[in-house]
Amino acid sequence: AAVARVVIGAPDPNPAVAGRGVAALRAAGIEVATGVMAADCAALNPGFEMRMRAGRPKVTVKIAASLDGRTALASGDSRWISGEQARADVQRLRAASGAILTGIGTVLADDPRLTVRAADLPAARQPLRVILDSRLRLPTQAQLLALPGETLVASLAGTDPSRAAALEARGAELLPLPGAGSGVDLQALLRALAEREINDVLVEAGPILNGALLDAGLVDELIVYQAPQVLGADARGMFAIRPLGDMAARPEFDLCESRRIGDDLRLRYRPRPGG
């Protein structure tokens, strides 16, 4: 029997193809119903929706923090705040992301791998590692340069060409970008990642980059692994944001999910509209 009716949950947000399939079906005499549970359908692929609508990937900031909102001791030591099960859960977040973004401060302090561990998800592809490094301070011996997957180093345009050449010799790709304030233009970075068809960026960074993204209105989701411990007032916080003139200026979030992962809580937040 011939197809008589087609139900489409949501239109394709890609302007290059949007509406063509519907038009072809209707031209063939097929009844088409569109927009059925459109919001639910869009929620299945929020990164793609964001890239099509805003020209940038969806940005998720992941933080492991203590009960008092601290992410590391004053010395920078943070291994380990979250438990083993929470760290395994992070591997799934990484595997679902097109890119992992961190700052040079985190790389210099921790020498992270920023990979999906094969022991946890052996079939996973490696996300693009993106290092925000305005002055190209990334050591050529950093372990992430020797690991599977690609590494993109985002720096200010015109930075030391000899340093750029040394990093390229180690397999890194350099992305020179315009500046904004005291560092790289974050909007320009996200646009460049969108041009690579990256839909989802997972941020695993320190309070400076976390705060810069929050100040710029570029945090779409916040995932906090809250550990049952206290690190004290001199430990490092979650966000280094601009000073607030009054309480009305504070960023606000809605709690969307709370789930126990081992000894920790995984708290998922989204920015409150107008907050």
**9 plus 104 within the same structural domain:** no
pLDDT tens figures, 151-192:
999 999 988 899 999 999 999 999 999 999 888 999 999 999
**Are 13 and 82 in the same domain?**
no
Q: Quick one: pLDDT at residue 212?
A: 96
pLDDT digits (tens, 9 = 90+) for 95-135: 999 999 999 999 999 999 999 987 777 767 899 999 999 99
List the CATH number of the domain containing 242: 3.40.430.10
Rounded to 10 degrees, the C-alpha dihedral 96/44/54/224 comes to: -50
Question: Which domain, by its residues, includes 8?
Answer: 1-44
User: What separation in angstroms does the CA of 108 have from each of 13, 139, 206?
Assistant: 40, 8, 11
Q: Are residues 51 and 7 in the same domain?
A: no
Kindly state whether residues 124 and 227 are assigned to the same domain.
yes
Which of the pair, 167 or 14, is modelled with greater confidence?
167
Distance between CA atoms of residues 58 and 97, nearest Å = 10
Q: What is the pTM of this model?
A: 0.90
Looking at the fold, whether 23 and 88 belong to one and the same domain comes out as no
Are both 39 and 56 inside the same structural domain?
A: no
- Token pair in block for residue 123: 């079939």
Residues 68 and 134 in one domain: yes
What pLDDT does 1 receive? 58
Same domain, 57 and 181: yes
Same domain? For 220 and 195 the reply is yes
Bridge-partner residues for 61, per DSSP? 203, 222
**Number of domains within the chain:** 2
* 94 and 177 both lie in a single domain: yes
